């Protein structure tokens, strides 16, 4: 058996902690000084976030850490987080005429054609009337 490097171990532990992109988490503690060489500068930053909930933006490139939504500058180790709610899996894409449907705030777009919600409602209404 080969020895695992610290970096590999942190990646394995982060991946096994059960937290993933989009999950809702709570910051339960600030990073320890032993895991963060820059901690003295950011202790207030993380201290103010203890007890607050965030969504996971992504797995950070730093081993063992996550980036949180609304926290574009700093990342936090997995052991400072507690899972609150798993993200709902994204449904599979809808493809029309070989083009994926893009869902917008006010409608959809397919192949550079936008359709507003009001138009979609009218389409659905007419489909229902036919049945």
> What is the per-residue pLDDT across 96-111, written as a single tens digit (0 to 9) for each?
888 899 888 899 998 8
Question: What pLDDT is stored for residue 28 in this prediction?
Answer: 93
Q: Which region among 15-19, 60-64, 114-118 has the lowest average model confidence (pLDDT)?
A: 60-64
So what's the architecture of 6-85 in CATH? Answer: Roll (2.30)
Q: What value does the mean pLDDT take over residues 14-21?
A: 88
The answer to whether the beta carbons of residues 86 and 94 sit under 8 Å apart is: no
Strand partners, 108: 103, 115
- Strand intervals (E) in 49-110: 53-59, 65-68, 75-77, 81-85, 95-96, 99-100, 102-104, 107-110
Annotated domain spans of the chain = 6-85, 95-130
Query: Between these two residues, 121 and 10, which has the higher pLDDT value?
Result: 121
Q: How many residues does the chain have?
A: 131
Q: Is the pLDDT of residue 117 over 60?
A: yes
> What is the per-residue pLDDT across 33-90, written as a single tens digit (0 to 9) for each?
655 555 556 666 777 889 999 999 888 777 788 888 876 667 888 889 999 999 988 8
Q: Which region among 2-11, 19-28, 53-62 has the lowest average model confidence (pLDDT)?
A: 2-11
């Amino acid at each position: 058996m080969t020895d695992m490097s610290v970096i590999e171990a942190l990646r394995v532990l982060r991946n096994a902690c059960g937290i993933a992109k989009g999950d809702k988490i709570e910051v339960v503690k600030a990073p320890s000084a032993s895991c963060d060489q820059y901690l003295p500068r950011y202790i207030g930053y993380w201290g103010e976030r203890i007890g607050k909930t965030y969504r996971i933006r992504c797995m950070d490139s730093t081993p063992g850490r996550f980036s949180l939504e609304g926290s574009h500058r700093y990342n936090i180790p997995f052991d400072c987080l507690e899972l609150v709610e798993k993200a709902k899996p994204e449904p599979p894409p809808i493809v029309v005429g070989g083009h994926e449907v893009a869902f917008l705030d006010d409608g959809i777009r397919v192949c550079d054609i936008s359709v507003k919600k009001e138009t979609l409602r009218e389409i659905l209404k007419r489909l229902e009337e036919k049945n």
